[in-house]
């Protein structure tokens, strides 16, 4: 019986401490997002890049979701971790390869759609959502911004 009582006390305490740990990150402010081209040096892997800029360099790991919509209504969405830049800690902008956002629910021929339509000047909207941790359900983002006509 004592083990059960101890477990009933320890589980809520552990969850509380875990939740407290998740709030220790500084909030971020999204300043800009755009599609950048011309970074590829011939490999073909970096011909479509999204640049996400913040008001200050990231100091912790943050999870982000992104949705790109072109003027032809091609929609590419994805998610992943953004980490502080070890090679350039004062840089406020992160570059993400758009091809990394391809996943099992992406449109058929997503790579070709990105190559043909995800171009600077052809973006109707970019939605960027930032989270302290990877969302497990319907958590609201701690920062969110939509950029149009890029």
Is the model's pTM score more than 0.85? no
In-domain check, residue 127: yes
Distances (CA, A) of 6 to 2, 16, 61, 75, 120: 6, 16, 34, 50, 59
Residue 45 and residue 98 in contact, taking contact as beta carbons nearer than 8 Å: no
In-domain check, residue 18: no
Number of domains in the chain: 1
Report the alpha-carbon distance of residue 147 to residue 65 in Å, rounded.
14
DSSP 3-state of 148: strand
pLDDT value of residue 44 = 62
Tens-of-pLDDT digits for all 150 residues of the chain? 555 444 455 545 444 444 444 458 899 999 999 998 777 666 666 778 999 999 999 999 999 999 999 999 999 999 999 999 988 889 999 999 999 999 998 888 998 999 899 999 999 999 999 999 999 988 999 999 999 987
In-domain check, residue 80: yes
In-domain check, residue 94: yes
Q: Which domain holds residue 111?
A: 26-148
Q: What is the CATH number of the domain that holds 126?
A: 2.60.40
The helix (run of H) or strand (run of E) holding residue 146 is strand 143-148
pLDDT value of residue 13 = 45
Report the alpha-carbon distance of residue 45 to residue 94 in Å, rounded.
17
Report the alpha-carbon distance of residue 97 to residue 40 in Å, rounded.
10
Report the alpha-carbon distance of residue 118 to residue 83 in Å, rounded.
24
Assigned token pair, 121:
């000047």
């Amino acid at each position: 019986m004592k083990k059960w009582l101890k477990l009933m006390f320890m589980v809520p305490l552990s969850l509380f401490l875990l939740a407290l740990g998740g709030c220790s990150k500084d909030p971020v402010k999204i300043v800009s997002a755009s599609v950048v081209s011309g970074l590829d040096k011939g490999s073909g892997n970096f011909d479509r890049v999204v640049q996400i800029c913040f008001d200050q360099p990231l100091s912790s790991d943050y999870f982000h979701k992104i949705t790109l919509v072109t003027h032809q209504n091609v929609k590419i969405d994805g998610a992943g971790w953004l980490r502080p830049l070890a090679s350039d800690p004062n840089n406020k902008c992160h570059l993400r390869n758009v091809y990394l956002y391809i996943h099992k629910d992406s449109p058929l021929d997503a790579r070709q759609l990105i190559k043909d339509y995800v171009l600077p000047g052809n973006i109707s909207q970019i939605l960027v959502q930032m989270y302290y941790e990877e969302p497990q359900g319907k958590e609201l983002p701690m920062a969110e911004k939509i950029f149009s006509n890029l």
